[in-house]
Chains A and B, each alone.
Chain A
Amino acid sequence: MSASTKQELTVTIGGADDGEQPLTLGGAADIPLGSPEERPDVAVCMEVWDTAPGDWPGCLTEDIGGSLDDPVEWAKALIDKVDPDAICLRLAGSDPALEGRSPEECAEVAKRFAGEIDLPLVVVGDGSADRETEVIPVVAEALAGRRCLIGTAEERNYRTLATAAQAFDHCLLAETPIDMNLAKQLNILIEDTGLPLDRIVMHHLTSGLGYGLEYTYSIMERSRQAALRGDDKLAQPMAVFIGPETWRTKEARASADDQPEWGDQSTRATLWESVAAAAYALAGASLLVFRSPSAACQFRQVWD
Chain B
Amino acid sequence: MTGLEIYALLPQTNCKDCGKPTCLAFALGIASGQEVASDCPHLSDEAKDVLLESSLPPVLRVTAGPEAAPLELGGEKEIYRHESKFVQPTVLAVSVPVEGGDQAEVTSRVEEIKALTFERIGEEIGVTAAAFMCGQGATAEDVRHGLQLAEDAGLAPLLLCTDADVLAECEDALKRSKPVLLGVDESRLDAFTKLGKQTEAPLTLVAPEVDGLVKLADSAKEAGCENLLLEVSGCGALDLVTNLTALRRRAVEDGDRSAGYPLLTKAGSEPLDILRAAAALCRYAGLVIVDSTDPALLFPLAALVQSIYADPQAPATVEAGLHAVGDPGPDAPVLVTTDFALTYYSVEPEVEAAKVPAWILVTDSEGQSVLTAWAAGQFEGSTIAKAINESKAEERLETRELVLPGQVAVIQGDVEDETGWSVRVGPREATGIPGFLRELAEAKTPEGSASDG
Q: Which residues of A pack against B, CB within 8 Å?
A: 31, 33-36, 39, 177-178, 209-215, 217-218, 221-222, 225, 248, 250-251, 253, 261-265, 267-268, 270-272, 274-276, 278-279, 282-283, 298-299, 301-303
Task: Indicate if the CB atoms of B296 and A282 lie closer than 8 Å.
Answer: no
B346 to chain A, nearest CB (A): 7
Q: What residues on A are CB-neighbors of B275 within 8 Å?
A: 271, 274-275, 278, 298-299, 302
* Interface residues in B360-407 (C-beta closer than 8 Å to A): 369, 371-372, 375
Question: Given contacts A177-B372, A275-B275, is CB(A303)–CB(B237) below 8 Å?
Answer: yes
Could you tell me the distance between the alpha carbons of A238 and B163 in the complex, rounded to whole angstroms?
51
**B174 is an interface residue with CB less than 8 A from chain A:** no
A98 to chain B, nearest CB (A): 14
Q: What residues on B are CB-neighbors of A225 within 8 Å?
A: 80
The 5 closest A-B CB pairs, nearest first, are A263-B296, A263-B295, A268-B296, A267-B296, A218-B312
Task: Indicate if the CB atoms of A282 and B283 lie closer than 8 Å.
Answer: yes
A-B contact pairs, 27 of them (CB 8 A): A33-B238, A209-B300, A209-B307, A210-B121, A212-B369, A213-B307, A214-B307, A215-B315, A217-B307, A217-B308, A221-B81, A222-B80, A248-B429, A261-B115, A262-B299, A263-B297, A268-B296, A271-B275, A271-B296, A272-B300, A275-B274, A275-B300, A275-B304, A278-B237, A278-B278, A279-B304, A302-B275
Q: What residues on B are CB-neighbors of A215 within 8 Å?
A: 312, 315
Contact of A303 (CB < 8 Å), options: B238, B304, B308, B372: B238
Could you tell me the distance between the alpha carbons of A265 and B300 in the complex, rounded to whole angstroms?
12
Task: Indicate if the CB atoms of B308 and A264 lie closer than 8 Å.
Answer: no
Q: Which residues of B pack against A, CB within 8 Å?
A: 80-82, 115, 118, 120-121, 236-238, 241-242, 245-246, 249, 271-272, 274-276, 278-279, 282-283, 294-297, 299-301, 303-304, 306-308, 310, 312, 315, 342, 346, 349-350, 369, 371-372, 375, 429-431
Q: What residues on A are CB-neighbors of B349 within 8 Å?
A: 250
Could you tell me the distance between the alpha carbons of A214 and B241 in the complex, rounded to whole angstroms?
19
A140 to chain B, nearest CB (A): 26
User: Which residue on chain B has the smallest CB distance to residue A34?
Assistant: B245
User: Which residue on chain A has the smallest CB distance to residue B116?
Assistant: A261
Task: Indicate if the CB atoms of A275 and B278 lie closer than 8 Å.
Answer: yes
Q: What residues on A are CB-neighbors of B303 within 8 Å?
A: 209-210, 251, 272, 275
A223 to chain B, nearest CB (A): 11
16 further A-B contacts with Cβ under 8 Å, apart from A210-B121, A272-B303, A302-B279, are A33-B241, A177-B372, A177-B375, A211-B342, A211-B346, A214-B310, A250-B430, A261-B115, A261-B295, A268-B296, A275-B278, A275-B300, A279-B279, A301-B272, A302-B272, A302-B275
Could you tell me the distance between the alpha carbons of A35 and B247 in the complex, rounded to whole angstroms?
11
Could you tell me the distance between the alpha carbons of A301 and B274 in the complex, rounded to whole angstroms?
12
User: Which residue on chain A has the smallest CB distance to residue B306?
Assistant: A210
Task: Indicate if the CB atoms of A262 and B371 lie closer than 8 Å.
Answer: no
Could you tell me the distance between the alpha carbons of A222 and B121 in the complex, rounded to whole angstroms?
25
Q: What residues on B are CB-neighbors of A298 within 8 Å?
A: 271-272, 275
Q: What residues on B are CB-neighbors of A262 within 8 Å?
A: 118, 295-296, 299
Contact of A282 (CB < 8 Å), options: B115, B282, B369: B282
B86 to chain A, nearest CB (A): 11
Task: Indicate if the CB atoms of A268 and B304 lie closer than 8 Å.
Answer: no
Question: Given contacts A33-B242, A218-B82, A282-B241, is CB(A271)–CB(B310) below 8 Å?
Answer: no
Q: What residues on A are CB-neighbors of B121 within 8 Å?
A: 210
B76 to chain A, nearest CB (A): 16
Residue of A221, A250, A282 with most partner-chain B CB within 10 A:
A282
Task: Indicate if the CB atoms of B429 and A282 lie closer than 8 Å.
Answer: no
Task: Indicate if the CB atoms of B304 and A209 lie closer than 8 Å.
Answer: yes
Question: Given contacts A270-B271, A274-B275, A279-B304, is CB(A212)–CB(B296) below 8 Å?
Answer: no
Q: What residues on A are CB-neighbors of B350 within 8 Å?
A: 250
Question: Given contacts A250-B349, A271-B271, is CB(A33)–CB(B245) below 8 Å?
Answer: yes
A245 to chain B, nearest CB (A): 12
B435 to chain A, nearest CB (A): 11
Could you tell me the distance between the alpha carbons of A225 and B81 in the complex, rounded to whole angstroms?
13
Could you tell me the distance between the alpha carbons of A246 and B346 in the complex, rounded to whole angstroms?
14
Task: Indicate if the CB atoms of A278 and B279 lie closer than 8 Å.
Answer: yes
Task: Indicate if the CB atoms of A251 and B274 lie closer than 8 Å.
Answer: no
Q: What residues on A are CB-neighbors of B306 within 8 Å?
A: 210, 214
Question: Given contacts A211-B342, A275-B301, A303-B237, is CB(A264)–CB(B279) below 8 Å?
Answer: no
Q: What residues on A are CB-neighbors of B304 within 8 Å?
A: 209, 213, 275-276, 279
Q: What residues on A are CB-neighbors of B342 within 8 Å?
A: 210-212
User: Which residue on chain B has the smallest CB distance to residue A267?
Assistant: B296
B125 to chain A, nearest CB (A): 10
Q: What residues on B are CB-neighbors of A251 within 8 Å?
A: 299-300, 303
Could you tell me the distance between the alpha carbons of A284 and B127 in the complex, rounded to whole angstroms?
28
Contact of A267 (CB < 8 Å), options: B120, B294, B372: B294
Task: Indicate if the CB atoms of A33 and B310 lie closer than 8 Å.
Answer: no
Task: Indicate if the CB atoms of A250 and B245 lie closer than 8 Å.
Answer: no
Task: Indicate if the CB atoms of A267 and B429 lie closer than 8 Å.
Answer: no
Task: Indicate if the CB atoms of A263 and B299 lie closer than 8 Å.
Answer: yes
Task: Indicate if the CB atoms of B120 and A210 lie closer than 8 Å.
Answer: yes
Q: What residues on A are CB-neighbors of B241 within 8 Å?
A: 33, 282
